[in-house]
Amino acid sequence: MTVLLSSDADGVRTLTLNRPYRRNAADPELWQALREALAAVTRDRSVRALVLTGAGGAFCSGADLKSGDSRHPLDKVRDLNDVAVLLHELPFPTVAKVTGVAVGAGWNLALGCDLVVATPESRFSQIFTRRGLSPDCGGTWLLPRLVGLQQAKRLTLLAETIDAEEARALGLVTWVVPPEEIDEFVADLGRRLAAGPPVALAQTKALLNEATSSTLYEALASEARAQAANFATTDAQEAYAAFAEKREPHFTGRWYRSPTSEDPHA
C-alpha cells in the first residue's frame, strides 16, 4: 500500500496520509515519503496551495511507536524536524483538513499548516506526556505562538483531549464544518487560495511567520522589501486593471518588466 497519496486539482496539491489501519500513525516510511513530497512540491511551480489530510476518517494519530524502528531516537526525530521545517517554509498557503483524531506529532503537523479545517467529531491531543515523552514536530514552537504560554503548558503538561469547538475557541482550528461538507469546503478554500497572487501570498506568509520573533522596526523593513518585490510582478498591475474593469483578476506571479529599446529581450 502506498503510504502517502498525492493528487492535483485547480493548482492545489493534496497529500493524504494513507495508513488508515493505524489511524495514519506515521512510521519511518511515511515520514520519508512526506519529507520527499514536501521537498518536491516546493519546486513545482504549478502548485499554488497545499492540502494535508488523512485517509479513513482520521488525520494522524502521531508517530507509530510500534513500527519496529531500531534507529537512535535522535535519528528518528530528525525525520520529524525535516518535515516540520519543509512544511513551515513552503512558499504558498497550506491547509490541514482534519477528520477524526489529530494526536501528538499528528496534531503538530496540522498546526504547522497555515489554516486548519475540522469537523465536530475531530479530537486533538498533545498526548506526549502520557507516553513518557515531550512534544516534537514543532509543537513547543507552535503552541505558545498560537495560544500563549499558559494554555500551551496546559495542553502539553496535562495531555488532555479536546474537541474541535474548544480547539477553535483557542485559535487552533480555523473552521469547524459538518463532515458531509468538509470536502467541498476545503476544495473551495484551496481554489480560492490557489487563485491568489502567488508572490504576494508567499511574502505575506513569510512576513507573518518572521514577525513572531522580530521587532516593529525589523517588521517594517521586511514589509518594505516585500512590497518592492510585489510591485515587481505583473499581479499588482493586474489587480488594478481588474478593479477598473469590474472583473476577477488573473494572477500569475510573473516578473513585471518594462521593455526598452536597449533590452535585447524586449
The fraction of the chain above a pLDDT of 70, given in percent, is 96
Round the average pLDDT of the chain to a whole number and report it: 94
- Contact (CB, 8 A) for 6 and 86: no
Residue spans in the chain of domains classed CATH 1.10.12.10: 196-266
**pLDDT tier at 78 (50, 70, 90 boundaries)?**
confident
Q: Tell me the C-alpha distance between 44 and 64, whole Å.
A: 30
Pairing status of strand 101-103 against strand 123-125: parallel
Which three cell numbers, joined as nine digits, stand for 49? Answer: 496551495
Identify the pLDDT of residue 177. Answer: 98
Burial of 247 (0-12, 13-18, 19+ CB in 10 A): exposed
Identify the pLDDT of residue 35. Answer: 96
**Model-level pTM?**
0.92
pLDDT per residue as tens digits for the range 151-178: 999 999 999 999 999 999 999 999 999 9
**pLDDT tier at 257 (50, 70, 90 boundaries)?**
low
Residue spans in the chain of domains classed CATH 3.90.226.10: 4-194
Fold of the 4-194 domain: 2-enoyl-CoA Hydratase; Chain A, domain 1 (3.90.226)
Out of 111-115, 228-232, 255-259, give the one with best mean pLDDT: 111-115
Q: For domain 196-266, give its CATH number from 1.10.287.70, 3.40.50.10490, 3.30.70.120, 1.10.12.10.
A: 1.10.12.10
- Contact (CB, 8 A) for 266 and 259: yes
Identify the pLDDT of residue 256. Answer: 79
The fraction of the chain above a pLDDT of 90, given in percent, is 88
pLDDT at residue 266 is higher than 80: no
> Mean pLDDT across the stretch 111-124?
98
Contacts 24+ apart (CB under 8 A), 139-146: 139/105, 139/107, 139/108, 139/111, 142/108, 142/111, 142/112, 143/111, 145/212, 146/111, 146/170, 146/171, 146/172
**pLDDT tier at 212 (50, 70, 90 boundaries)?**
confident
Q: What are phi and psi of 48, to 5 degrees?
A: -115, -10
